[in-house]
Structure 1
Amino acid sequence: MNGKCRAFSLRTGRFSQCGQIYTVTTVTEGRIAHFEDLGLGRLLVKEMRAVEQAGRLSSLAWVVMPDHLHWLFELRSGSLGDVVGRVKARSGYAINTRLALQGPLWQKGYYDRALRKEEDLRQAARYIIANPLRAGLVQRVADYPLWDAVWL
């Protein structure tokens, strides 16, 4: 491990480790569907890409749903809490600024799951990007504008 990459103990039962692949789900405060507005969804995606460009993670797949985010990535540096917290804080600021609002955009916390190396990452990515289909938002994944996966 390099100096930027060390293991972190988060809350009870949660452990953050560089090189680990995680799925993360986080939900907007009050489940408000802010991301029905494509422009607001793109502000979130901009912050997700910023943490990737900063070398904090390697994004594998994600989908921005109207009121939540599903994200599959490999942690590269820092802690899981720092990365998710940065995306939530910066996207919250950007979206609140755009909407002239105050207060939290995101619910506190997030759900995460560490994937084992032997798990099928493509299957996990397919599950994530198929969320708009299961929610009845589109007939085909290609019709939904806020998703990406490295296998395409």
Structure 2
Amino acid sequence: MTPQARATKAAEAMLAADIASRSLGMQITQIAPGAATLTMRVSDKMLNGHGICHGGYIFTLADSAFAFACNSYNRLTLAQQNQITYISPGKDGEMLTATASQTALSGRSGVYDVMVTGEDGRTVATMRGLSRTIKGQLFIEDGELA
């Protein structure tokens, strides 16, 4: 199996079980080994008391992109730590895009940077995620036993 095919199949398996991301309307627009891009449209149910996208929803989009990127090797991988910085607000009705990319991978630990942008290209938030790989896979690969 090629690395790209593995990443694609891992994303499909993860998305099928990811009720949270699906219920928020997130879409995977790009997947590759160590990288993922997801989109989410801001709905009126996501607005805070200031009439802008609640930071928790922006974090959830960034965290989901991070999760798909770090699980793209078909090794179960979890968040160990995340830190987000909000730069500008997400607007009602706007399509937000989160692009996650691996910056380091050593043993069971990984570092991923996520950029969340608005439709006009402005930076909405940046997030750094630290991952930890555990035992298991998202799917059984050809030639492996369950």
Q: TM-score under structure 2 normalisation?
A: 0.35
Higher strand share: 2
Higher helix share: 1
Q: TM-score under structure 1 normalisation?
A: 0.34
